[in-house]
Amino acid sequence: MRERVGGAMRLRAYASPSAYEAYLRAELAMARGDPAAAAAQMELAVIADPADGFLAARRAEVLLARGPLAEALRAAEEATRQHPASAAAWIALGETRRALGDADGVAEAMQRAAALAPDDPDVRAAVSAQHGGSDAQVARARRGAPEARHGDQNLARHALDPRGEGRRWSVTRRRLLAAELRARGDWAAVDRTLTPGVLADPTNVQDREAVIEARARDGRPRDAAALAGGLPAATPAPRRALAWWLAGDPARAASAAMSPEAAEDPMAARVHAQALGAQGDVAGAVALLATVPPEAPWQWAGELSGDGWGLPGRDRVDAAGHDVSNRYRAFACARLTAADLLARGGHSALAEAVLRAALEVLAGRPDGAASRDALRLALIERLALPPARDDRAAERVTLRGALETVWARHRAALGARDLAALQQRSGDAREDAAADAWIVILGRDAGAPQEELRAALARAERVAPDSPLTRRARARFDEVARGAP
């Protein structure tokens, strides 16, 4: 990807998903006025991507907002030592020194930043602030920098807005906050956050769908149905079908999805399959899921997993890892969902046949490792169920040995209590932290040395201290340390 960091244009690999998520959570916490939570998230971001100078600089700025100043100064100095070519790091050091009243130190840091990136908007704004510029002067310095882009223009416009309404209540900020509330399961708060925007703009279908789901999950189906029924007349049939599905009315969802307007639409097909399954029409749902081609768009499977947007098979595909592209993930999701529906309907042999056939379709395809692993994991699970036969045990061993991604090997290791497989690193900080937590939870029964468990727990707590899995690991480790059974 091509990006500008610290005033310099560069090419680099895509940022770590864990680092990006932690960075967004930190910015959201700062927007809420909670610098302590932001500092904890920025710590995770820097751990996940230590090569990014911008993250190190932003961590120092967040610590400066939280205090004490000595800790912020140490972080800023560390950022400049590790990333001496990052103008962002020198700006952070200058801001920290300004808070300490070190005028000479501020001038030195800003001179280094200006030498590295004289045309960067951030540098221009920081130098203007160093010389006592007003908010308006700083904003104009940013806007007038040779490398200023649309984002810099918007920052300047919001800074010159005396009420700051654009800065405080942007659509992006509302959606970020709603996403965090959704992750915590606080559906009433999701409703309160997004409803004002929906009322102000009746054509805002995306936020309306999120509010419909929030109300249904908050135990208010009538309110959800009222909002789904109040969609503008011009709303496309696929979006109308999704709204009714989120409201918990599969019959109306199926009716909207079957309209001529929704023919061959991926979203309508997905909602229709879900609705048929919910109504007990397993044969109809499986037949519809079988029409999903190998390279169907990933959006077919739903934008989010673990909630009403995604098909049941989505969680399995997400857990199996990540490929360079999402080329075959919708196909795998559809087949996994079909197998689940068949198994719940008592057709275990057909469920296994669907999984094996899907594996054959994806055999040897590039960028399909995670999708194949998701199918293998589901088949391993199916083969572990009665009746017990030697050939089924042998096939499970073969499938487990064929797993291609570290994510999938971690999942398979849980059932086998294989600590060696859990110790393999995926490169994703949160995935590896979860594996470390499982090492602690399963370690005593597997005979792992206590020091090994202590080291795994330390790694998990450094990356994901608030994770329920990490907390469970801590409780288990304390039991082991006390000698409890």
Report, as an integer, the average pLDDT of 436-465: 88
CB distance 167 to 146 below 8 Å: no
Supply the pLDDT for residue 132.
72
Could you write out the three-class secondary structure of 115-153? HHCCCCHHHHHHHHHHCCCCHHHHHHHHHCCCCCCHHHH
DSSP 3-state of 3: strand
Q: Which of 59-73, 173-187, 220-234 has the lowest mean pLDDT?
A: 173-187
Listed in sequence order, the DSSP H helices in 131-248 are 135-143, 150-159, 165-168, 171-184, 187-200, 205-217, 221-229, 237-246
- Which tokens go with 30? 């700062």
CB distance 273 to 311 below 8 Å: yes
Supply the pLDDT for residue 77.
93
The answer, yes or no, to whether residue 2 has pLDDT greater than 50, is: yes
The helices-and-strands tally (H runs, E runs) of the chain is 28, 2
Question: CB count, 10 Å around CB of 124?
Answer: 26
**Which of 134, 107, 105, 139 minimizes the C-alpha distance to 122?**
139
Per-residue pLDDT band at 304 (split at 50, 70, 90): very low
Per-residue pLDDT band at 310 (split at 50, 70, 90): low
**Which of 390, 392, 439 minimizes the C-alpha distance to 418?**
439
- The residue with tokens 């991604």 is 405
Supply the pLDDT for residue 354.
95
Q: Which residue has the higher pLDDT, 239 or 203?
A: 239
Supply the pLDDT for residue 59.
92
The answer, yes or no, to whether residue 251 has pLDDT greater than 70, is: yes
**Which of 415, 390, 403 minimizes the C-alpha distance to 359?**
403
In the chain, the amino acid numbered 7 is G
Report, as an integer, the average pLDDT of 251-279: 87
